[in-house]
Chain A
Amino acid sequence: MRIEQPNPNDFDALLRAGLKNHIINVPPDFAQKLLPRVQRQEYAAALAAIKMKERLLLATMILLPLAFVAVALFIPQQVMIQLTVSIADIYHSFLPKPASALRQWLVISVAAALLLYGLVDSFLAEN
């Protein structure tokens, strides 16, 4: 460290030099001791992120079927019929043979649930 030699008539210079020349004792292994703590911090952060994804996935798995049930229970009958008819129409357009209404509804619901689940799952896996 460069030692400053101030002009003794200049109080500010004396103060500046005195403070600049003063050194605080830093333990020589300070940086080495910090690195393991940094690694632990990174590990803890990664673990917390994984746990958060797990919780989100679990919540999705529980909430998604519940949402379907809620929709099925509380949606007005008229809307439900229209929706079923619309979905069935789309389904029919892809199928050469007609199927029963209940079977159509079940197949489409399962397909929609699987599709949504797949989308959420892949989104969580990527992030």
Chain B
Amino acid sequence: MEDLTWLERLRRREHDAFAELVQRYQQQVFVCCAVLGLKAHEVEDVASETFLAVWKSIPSFNAKSKVGTWLWTIAYHKAMDFLRKKRPASEGIYYDEQVLPDTDSSRPLETASRDEIIWSAVKRLPHPWPLVVILFYREEKGVAEIASIMDIPENTVKIYLYRARQKLKGSLNSLWKDESKCV
């Protein structure tokens, strides 16, 4: 259930509500752009464009879907538009991303490196599997919701997920085995 007061404040175009929206969803939008292969400085530009587009189209948001899903859809299309305009088709998808240094001392080093290996493996998947994997595993979206965000058939999402999972199992096999041995 969305926070209706906050949504109303957004519709009234209150800047405080917009700042709250950015705080709530900036990580999600940055993840979307990063996983689609945008460089660090491009991620910030596209994320800004995404939030400005959101601000512009708030009056047309009918609240039938969740704000998060709506934002994913806009972020995905903005990132894809950017990639189509800026990158020639021959160049393909470029993977680069700035990872936040691990400052959480309570977090075991092995966990941090394991997470980064997983993230890198997901990013190396062929386009657009990384986004499908992120939406399914990280954001816990259903197949229908992913299909709606990416504007593709549900069966295609299932195929992407299956293939991505198989590929990841192959590339993360050693990591998985090491983890099992540790127990």
Interface residues of A (CB under 8 A from B): 1, 3, 5, 8-9, 11-12, 14-27, 30-31, 33-35, 37-39, 41-42
Contact = CB atoms under 8 A, between A and B. Distances in A.
> Which of the four size classes fits the interface of chain B?
35 or more
A102 B172 CA distance: 95
B36 to A, nearest CB: 12
A9 B137 contact: no
B67 to A, nearest CB: 16
B180 A9 contact: yes
A15 B107 contact: no
Contacts of A31: 19, 22-23, 26
Contacts of B18: 34-35, 38
B56 interface: yes
Given A15-B118, A19-B115, 6 more contacts: A9-B183, A18-B117, A24-B98, A24-B99, A31-B22, A41-B56
Interface string B158-181: 000000010011001001100110
Contacts of A12: 137, 165
A8 B182 contact: yes
Contacts of B172: 11, 14-15
11 contacts: A8-B180, A12-B165, A19-B118, A23-B99, A25-B99, A34-B48, A35-B19, A38-B18, A38-B52, A41-B55, A42-B13
Contacts of A19: 115, 118-119, 122, 133-134, 137-138
B126 to A, nearest CB: 17
5 cross-chain pairs, A with B, having the tightest CB-CB distances, nearest first: A18-B118, A8-B179, A19-B138, A31-B22, A25-B100
B56 A33 contact: no
A22 B183 contact: no
A20 B138 contact: yes
Residue from A1, A18, A37 having most chain B Cβ neighbours under 10 A: A18
Contacts of A27: 44
B137 A25 contact: no
